[in-house]
Structure 1
Amino acid sequence: MARPGQKRNRTMAALAQEAAGQQEEEAFNASVTGIQVDLGDEEEEDEGDEADDGMVQGKKSGQALPIAVLPDDFDGEPEDGATYLALANRANESLPFYKRVDVPDHLRPAVGPVAPPSPPTGRHPALPRESWEVLFAVHFAGYRAHLEASWPEETLPYPSEYPPLPSAGEMIPWLEFINGVGGEDDMVLDEEEAINEAPPAPVPREPRISVLQRLNSTTSVRVLKHLNRATKTALQRLEEEDLDDDPFPPAHARWAFALLAKLDRHLPGDDTAVLRDFARTLAAAAAWRWGAAVKRGQLTAVPVKVGFYGQGGEEGAPVLGEMNGPGRVGYAVGARWKVVRDGRARSEATPRPETKEAGHEDGLDECLARCWMCAHAIVAGWAQWDLVDDFADAFRGVPRE
């Protein structure tokens, strides 16, 4: 319990100490020349004079500590808190609004290699154009109707130079028959000729009407199955050995197309499955042939006239190939044939389509044409339209150029 008068004595001592401190502060401020202190709580400064810049020198809202008002040329050392805050504000105003600092090299995130440009989208250039698919279906139907109307009623004589037809289930004899191996037309060499001369290459046998007349629907499907298996085997061998060959040679294509043209329009499910598998094999062969051409640099753009494959530009101006995407020029299937055809005089006789005179060289264009004609004959002849999507899927991941 406080003694009597102790509280009053403490209050008087505190007041005396506060008065002494105030007198010391006023004496110090008076000793600093050219420095004015803005205490920020004087009532008479609420209505201060206007400065030259239009700002009012007076009380600053929210100011808790006194800040000295320094002249512009003041460069002394701060001796109290007010001067220090004034110098700090001056230095703060000279700083930029923001500053960029580079990240040190050891703190930078690891950056991988630059990603290659995205491949062009859209239809693969090795696929036939959609307009061709529609027109081919119409032309194939008309060709089959013409073949049926003009088919001989009587059986024509069997070619004397052809050997007897093999049994329907024998694959190797049928492939030898188609490829021209065996038969009475083979040349017989004596011992000396056999040593000094190489045997002549076999000449493939053509699918003549006199031969096709002797094949019923079941046998025709079996022969198509043999050609399908031969194409698969050749494709597997080419992929494993990395050879530059044709998985679907011209003789096989001619026999396949001829058999498809004469085959019954209504087939049982098992026979239709054989045709569907053959069509997918042909799409795989076309994809492999295109990939091999890209690998060996065989995709050569050919100048074609305006209008070919939807090309634009000035009339008569040559353009290159078919557009594979925005600003991209690539390979156009069949462009070489069109150049040769357009360069031929109208008075000249039209050569056979598969001859060199017609522009054919048994290269990439020819292989793709053989594959797509037979594959789309299956699509159009037996309404297997869903196979078109399978053809496009066969080219997923296959380079465009």
Structure 2
Amino acid sequence: MSSTHKRKRDELEDSDEEPSFGRQILPVANLPENYNGPITDGLQYLFTVRRDARRLPHVVRVANPYEVPDVPPPLKDVAPHPSLPSESWRTVFQRRFRNFRKNFAQPTIHIRLPEKKLKQKLMPDKNERDLWWEFIAGRPEAVWNPPKKPKQGKGKGNKGKGMRAFSDDSMDYGDARDSGVLKAQADDGDVVLMYDEADISVGPVHPPVSAATSVTLPTPMGTPPRHEEGEISDTPAEAFTPREPTPALLNRIDHRLAIHLLMYFTNWMNHHLRHTEQFSNRLTEVHARWMFALLSRVDDHVDADDMSLLRNLARACIGLLKDRKWKKVFLAQAGVGGQDEVGPDSIVQEAMSERSCWIVIAAIVYVWAQRDLWQDAEAMLQDFIAQ
């Protein structure tokens, strides 16, 4: 095509209308969109034709004579399980737990400068899982904070020495904390950790075995080792007052330590579900309060790894709920009621209740938006009814 037949760009007619199937060549009347008057000329006729064409669909489908209307199935009116917390309770709990987290993170009263680092150790190290179990169980400091073993040389110190019937090394590796009493009392009335003389007993490293020896708390060398998985201890456990998650302890727990400790609780619950016959590894209401308090120290926004740990904790609580349900049915069939767990000497143990499990699950579901876990809990209850 020669250039003489091409129209210049400035010769093209401007149009504010949307592109249509063909280019506008004939003039069209400029009338309002809702014009409904008589058509007097061709310009008005073209306007009405183009207006009606814009209102028509671009694609038209022929009606199917064999089409069957798709009627949705009726929704099943499934009554919620009586153990499932109500919607009103969940709403109130979500609001109050969020406020509790904010108030603990930003206290509005008793604001003070951070305390200096105490020489006294208030809790076990981060990676000591077994010592954390003993710490929460209320064991004395000699158990959860044993003295460190002395570093032995690689044989250099024994060179040039003859054999002797005794050792010249008479160092006492006992800590100064085992011989005194710790009483930390803040001036402003904050709750801090206090130990009494009755909590810690100081004795020789190797106590003499005698029939007249009085019963004392176990020392680091005399503490019996924890039983491996699958073993059941026949010796009755000593009575200790469990340690509560006090504000003095929680102030020293950050996000990373809280996540790490919650991972321990998940491991303990899974171990308890695998070996429910072991009363020494049961979870109590004190453990539930620790989980609730540690969840208040977790950040609002967590990464994928931390979220996976929180979800595992919620799933472990769902498994513990299922175990509690089956145990209730078994006790009801056996004619025994009103006891969750019965330990040695018919002592009723304060086991972690269903209410505590729901609190931990609701905290994870609503604070970190894991609604599918709540659906898993509902499905577990429905399966329990079906069975």
**TM-score of the superposition, structure 2-length normalised?**
0.49
Whose helix proportion is higher, 1 or 2?
1
Whose strand proportion is higher, 1 or 2?
1
Larger Rg: 1
